[in-house]
Structure 1
Amino acid sequence: MSLFQQRKNKRFNYIPRHLKDTQKDDDLKSHWESVRGQGKHKKRRTISLPVLLVVLGMIIALWFILTHYEKS
């Protein structure tokens, strides 16, 4: 009768991360490249050279206008 039989405990095949020894040197490099791009600062953008030149031009134009305004 299955009415009085107790259920068996479940068995899991869990191996902790620090005990896994499956990574090799070549696999480690590919794993590092995939993990490296997942950081928080991935979306950080740098200011390009054309944008800096436009800002510099605007500063020089403003400086030129203000110096002529000062003389008159």
Structure 2
Amino acid sequence: MSLFQQRKNKRFNYIPRHLKDAKGEDNLKSKWDTVRRHGKHKSKRTLSLPVLLVILGMIIVLWYILIHYEIS
């Protein structure tokens, strides 16, 4: 009775591109190291949050001083 039997899933012989390489794990490690190095250099260019808050505080203090200087 093939009426009640479920169809079996098809099997494919697919190998992902990153597994086709002969180097395999070594190649993945070297790629990961280069990505990590590039990430570190990128973070040095941006200003950190505490530095931005100090700059904002200095601007507010300067603004306050200039407003009261104008009134006097």
What is aligned with 2:27? 28
Higher share in helix: 2
| Alpha-carbon distance, 1:44 to partner | 5.2
Q: Using CA pairs below 8 Å that are at least 6 residues apart, which structure has the higher relative contact order?
A: 2
- Work out which of the two has the higher radius of gyration on C-alpha atoms and give 1 or 2: 1
What fraction of aligned residue pairs are identical, expressed as a percent? 48
What is aligned with 1:65? 65
Q: Which runs of 5+ in 2 are unaligned?
A: 1-20
RMSD between superposed Cα atoms in Å: 2.4
What one-letter code is carried by the residue in structure 2 that aligns with 1:50? P
Q: Which runs of 5+ in 1 are unaligned?
A: 1-20
TM-score (norm 2): 0.53
Give the whole-Å Cα distance in 2 for the aligned partners of 1:53 and 1:71.
27
What is aligned with 1:47? 47
In 2 relative to 1, CA 38–53 (structure 1 residues): closer, same or farther, beyond 3 Å?
Answer: closer
Give the whole-Å Cα distance in 2 for the aligned partners of 1:49 and 1:42.
17
Number of aligned residues: 50
Moved over 3 A (4+): none
Give the whole-Å Cα distance in 2 for the aligned partners of 1:66 and 1:42.
39
